[in-house]
Every structure is written in C-alpha cells, then in structure tokens.
Structure 1
Amino acid sequence: MDRLESMEVFVKAIDLGSFTATAAALDLSGPMVGKHVRFLEERLGVRLINRTTRRQSLTDFGRAYYERCRIVLAEAQAADALAADQLSEPRGKLRVTMPAHLGRHCVTPILLALARRHPTLELDLSLSDRFADLVEDGFDMAIRTGALDDRAGIIGRRVARQRMLVCASPSYIETFGKAHRSGGPRHPSGNRLPAARPCVAAMALPARRRFRRRVRAGRSIASRRSRCDRRRGERRHGAGLAAILAGA
C-alpha cells in the first residue's frame, strides 16, 4: 500500500470518528479503511487506535502520530500546489539561440511580448548564425532556417515557412539588365549582357555562393557569383548594399 494514502485514511478516520464515515467520505469500503490503518500499525510495529464495536480512541503514540501525519499531508498538498502553479505560469530562464538577422527582426519581438505577458519568465537570447549545440552550450531551444540535421535527441518542429526571393533595385537593372526566359540578361535598351552578374546571396556556406536560377523545362540561365553573403546581414544594409548591387 501507499504510505501517504494510508496516512490520509488514518487522519480522516480520526477526524470523522468512525471507519464507516471515512469509507463513505473517501469512496472506500469499510474493510479497506481497516486495512490502511493496519498497514501503518504493522509498518510501525505499534498500535495506533484502540477500537471496539462501539467506539475507537487513539493510543498515546497514535495521537502523536496523528499530529505528525497532518503536517506531512499538509506539506504534500503544498508541494502539489507548487507544481500546479509552475505549470500554470511560465517562469524561470529560457535560453534561446537563433540567427542574428531573423532573430532581431522576426523572433525577438515575439519573445519580448511573451516576456511582458509573463513577468516571471526570464529570457536569455543568443543571436548568432553559428549552429550551437543545445546540450553543450546549455540552450533550451534553437530557432533555425533550412533543413534540420538528423541529430539524436533533438526534437524539431516547423513553425513557419520562409519564401526566398530574387530581388533587384531599379539601378541594378539599369546597370546589369534583367533575366529573360528566352535567353540571357538584357539591358533595358535590348542589348544582351554577360550572364555573370554580382549579387548578395543569403547563403551561409561559401560553396553555395554561386547559384543558377532555374526556369521552365529544367533550363537554367544567368549564372551569378555572390560578391558577399548575408550571414552578417546588418552590415549589408543601406548604402553599402546598394553600392554592391550597383556594381561598385
């Protein structure tokens, strides 16, 4: 039998004054109430209750044990309430790693709003394009883009889809032209231009800085070499990025 449950039955039997009332209150049979009390007595090696057909009374040890059981049961209930409180309100430190650009502009505002709703939640955010080891680096969660590596013990869940686009400014098209499905790039004047043109690629690996845009029937056009990648995206914004795209 469970000792804590037997203590609860014992205390209830003393509070209500009879095994019959205890059985009704706890939805047990009368004999089962007696078994719980005997379990405690046999475990302790001492009698707790003097019981006759008409009345029951605590022994001296039973009275002291009863008071201790009440304290133990109250502490157990307080511990359960603490667990319930923990589950009802997020609290403690949450360590999250995420890519710098995505984290700063997309994820961090959401997490800060979450922290405002839950004052007991503490955020520890790491904005880095380095793939962190959750266990070794002590992170609770990682937010990443792209395919998830098959790593043992890591649970992954897609939270959104990211659409990749090829974009160009008007000055870039003026300088380098734009690609056509019928052939290579053309200047707005109609003259053909060399296929290779500079670009800024959102690629993390140097080997992927050269890419080709695929069009219908599997044909590809306009091979492009990236003059920089966007791993340090914040540094590529503004005038510097415009200069690169313009071929400066």
Structure 2
Amino acid sequence: MDKFMSMRIFSGAVEAGSFSVVAEHMSCSKGNVSRAVLSLEDQLQARLLQRTTRRVSLTEPGKRYYQKCKRILADLDDAEAEARDAHTRARGRLRVHCVTDLGLGQLTHSVIEYRRRFPAVSVHLKFLPRMANLIADEVDVSIVSAPTLPDSRNVIQLFPECRLQRTRVFVVYSCRHHIDAKIKTFVDFMTSHLREMLDSSFGSVPASEALNRVAQI
C-alpha cells in the first residue's frame, strides 16, 4: 500500500479511535486498516497504537509520529491543491516570446489588456528576431510568424483564415495536455483581442490586409 495512504489511514484511526469507523469512512475493509497500521509499525520498528476490542489509543512514539503525519499530509494536500489550481486559475509568471517582425505596439497593448483582465498573472515579454526554443530560451508561449510550422498538438494558428503577406501567425507552447490556465487564457485572449483590434481599427478592410498593416505598426 502507498505510504501516504497508510499515513492517512493511521491518522484517521487515531482521530476515529476505531479501525471499524475509519474503514467505513475510507471505504475499505477493517483488515486493510489493520494491515496499513501494521506495515507502518514494521517499517518504523515501533508500536504506534495500542489495540483493544473497542478502541485504539496512541503510544508515546505514536503520538510523535501522528503529529508529524498531520503536518506532512497537510503540506501534501496544500501542494496538490496548488498544482491543481494551476489548471483552473490563471496566476503566476507567464513568459512570452514574440518575433520582432510582428506589430510590437499592438502586441504590447494586448498584453496590458490581458493583465487588466487577469491581474494575478505577471507577463514577461521577450522579443527576439528568431523563433524561440521554449526550453533553452525559458519561455512559456512563443508568438511567431512563419509560412508554415510542422503539425503539432502544441501549435495554434491565430488567424487560420488570414495570411500576413506570405506568412502566418502561430502561437507555440510546451504542451496542450493539462495546460496551465495562465497559458490557455493568454492564447484565448490574444486570439479574440487581436481580432477585435483588427475589426475596430480597420473596419471593412479585408482581414489579411489588416494583418499586414498591424505588422507595420
């Protein structure tokens, strides 16, 4: 059995004062509870609980172990909640790369608007005259212009129906599986916000021509 699970069962038995109660609470058998506690005692070579037919109680080593178990399990729960939160809540530092042949003024304005909507995210912009290596250049998202990029699950074309002269605009990030909320919200926002800016700035001008004009700003 997983050691953390054994620690949870042991802590539950201490708080419930009964193997039967904790077994019912954790949807396992009383035998599993007993084996989990016995496994911990064998590993530690110390008796943690005194058992009677009605109750269990802590030994002196068990008291010390229980207090530390509670702290460890609480820290583990906090760490898991924080990691899980990254998928649902946009926050933290977002490192964004952009090639210099795109419209820097428009992009900067979009980042400012994104920060207003998601104030828990701090955006660090890095402009390079080349495509970025996400790992070597230490960036989370890369906005690039290129005629084409290899098909990949972590590449999104911002405006698939538009062409920027003879190139297209892509957003590249590390992975689309369990993507951080800060990355997803940034990509979604940039797509919608840049499109809104094109519509409001250039009105009836064809989108492809509008993108060409943006690149010159």
TM value normalised by structure 2:
0.66
User: After the TM superposition, which residues 75-94 of structure 1 pair with which residues of structure 2 at under 5 Å, given as runs?
Assistant: 75-87=75-87, 88-94=89-95
- Matched letter for residue 97 of structure 1: C
Match of 1:133 in 2: 132
Shift of 1:109: 3.1
User: After the TM superposition, which residues 3-42 of structure 1 pair with which residues of structure 2 at under 5 Å, given as runs?
Assistant: 3-42=3-42
User: After the TM superposition, which residues 37-76 of structure 1 pair with which residues of structure 2 at under 5 Å, given as runs?
Assistant: 37-76=37-76
CA distance in 1, matches of 2:153, 2:86: 24
- Cα distance change of structure 1 residues 136 and 40 upon mapping to structure 2, 3 Å threshold: closer
- Cα distance change of structure 1 residues 164 and 80 upon mapping to structure 2, 3 Å threshold: closer
Q: Unaligned stretches of 5+ in structure 1?
A: 166-201, 205-229, 235-248
Is the CA contact (8 Å cut-off) linking 1:96 and 1:125 kept in structure 2?
yes
SS in 2 for 1:123: strand
SS in 1 for 2:155: coil
CA distance in 1, matches of 2:20, 2:12: 11
Shift of 1:156: 1.9
Larger Rg: 1
CA distance in 2, matches of 1:164, 1:132: 18
SS in 2 for 1:89: coil
- Cα distance change of structure 1 residues 98 and 162 upon mapping to structure 2, 3 Å threshold: farther
Q: Deviations over 1:85-137 (max 9, x none)?
A: 433223113222134443433x3333222111222322222445x22332443
Aligned residue pairs, count: 169
Identity of aligned pairs, percent?
27
1:233 corresponds to 2:192: no
Which is bigger in relative contact order (C-alpha 8 A, separation at least 6)? Answer: 2
Match of 2:157 in 1: 158
Is the CA contact (8 Å cut-off) linking 2:50 and 2:56 kept in structure 1?
yes
Q: Unaligned stretches of 5+ in structure 2?
A: 168-212
- Cα distance change of structure 1 residues 61 and 99 upon mapping to structure 2, 3 Å threshold: same
